[in-house]
Amino acid sequence: MDVAPPYTAVVLAGGRAARLGGQAKPQLIVGSRSMLASVLAAVADAAARVVVGPAQPVPDDVLLVREQPPGGGPVAALRAGLARVDTDVIAVLAGDLPFLTADVIAELRRRLTADGVLVVDDSGRDQLLLGLWRTERLRAAVGPRGGPTSMRRALAPLSVDRWRPDVPAGSPPPWLDCDTPTDLARARQVAGRLPG
C-alpha cells in the first residue's frame, strides 16, 4: 500500500469579510467551534499547519503569518504561506469551510498524481482554495511578488486533476463556505441538524 507523502496545510484566513460586517470570518462559530478550528481539525495529520491572516486565535502548534501587503488577496497570502513550507506537498485551504473533513483531505492526498488536485462543487466549479499541490510546481506558478495576482491566473499553467466528492443526501458538502450572512445562517442551521 502506497503511503501519501507528508504535507503542510496552508489555510488562508484573511480578507475583510465586508459582507459579514467586517467580522473575522474564520473565527465565526458554526456548530460548536469556529470555522478555522474546523479546517485545522481536518488537517490535524499535517506535518505543519500555517494560517495566513491577521492576528487571531490559533492553537500553539499552528504558525500564524501575514501576507504582504496585508489584505493583498489570496495570491499574496499563498506566497506568504509557501515561504513556510518545507514538504513536497501542500494543502491550500480557505479558512471558512466548516464542513471540511479529514476524509476529504485523505482522498485528495490519494488523488494527487498531477501538479495538483482540486475539489469541484456540484455545479462543476473549481474550488481553488480546496486542493493539494506539489509544492515546487505551485511555488513556480505563483512566482515572486509582482507575479500573477489572481488565483485562477496563477494556477492556469499547472496540470490539475479534479474531484467531485460524493455527498450523501442531507449532508453538507465540504466546499460549503460562508461569504454572506445567508451562507452563515444556512451553515449554522445545517450544523444544528448534524449528530454530535
Instruction: Give the per-residue pLDDT at 128.
Output: 96
| Distance set, CA 21 to CA 31, 105, 184 (Å) | 20, 31, 12
User: Across the chain, what does the average pLDDT equal?
Assistant: 90
Answer yes or no: is 70 within a domain. yes
Answer yes or no: is 187 within a domain. yes
Answer yes or no: is 53 within a domain. yes
**Does 22 have pLDDT greater than 70?**
no
Instruction: Give the per-residue pLDDT at 145.
Output: 75
pTM of the model: 0.93
Answer yes or no: is 123 within a domain. yes
Domain count, the chain: 1
Answer yes or no: is 45 within a domain. yes
Across 132-150, average pLDDT: 88
34 in helix, strand or coil? strand
Answer yes or no: is 1 within a domain. no
**CATH number of domain containing 159:** 3.90.550.10
pLDDT in tens, 98-120: 999 999 999 999 999 999 999 99
**Does 148 have pLDDT greater than 70?**
no
Answer yes or no: is 2 within a domain. no
- H-state helical runs in the chain: 35-42, 74-82, 102-111, 135-142, 151-155, 181-193
Domain that holds residue 84: 7-193
Measured on CA atoms in the order 87, 5, 117, 156, is the torsion positive or negative?
Answer: positive
